Structure 1
């Protein structure tokens, strides 16, 4: 995503949607790392945002998995 994801948006997503979003962000992260290595990266702050978005998705997915385990 181009903007920071809000936690409420992530909690509204299903597990499949979270996995799709995670895959998309991982691809973006790879491309950003590649651009950085070749000296083509202009927005260096985007790497940090993507990394944090990935962490948010993983945290939300783990919480949903724990909830499903309790129920």
Structure 2
């Protein structure tokens, strides 16, 4: 929740982010994932939905950066 409280207002829900191969780099083995892939463009709203899922570590890691 602290992550969300800190960043939620910085990105418009309709904003878009295209995931690159470098974005998910560094996600530790065994992390829970929502299966975000390099290549597609996701809305900020979609990435936030992934953040709030129990398995959303990859959404936190690749989401738009301030």
Task: Tell me if TM exceeds 0.5.
Answer: no
TM-score range normalised by the length of the shorter chain: 0.3 to 0.5
Q: Which has the higher strand share?
A: 2
Tell me: higher relative CO, structure 1 or 2? Use CA pairs within 8 A at least 6 residues apart: 1
TM-score by length of 2: 0.35
Q: Which has the higher helix share?
A: 1
Report the structure number with the largest CA radius of gyration. Answer: 1
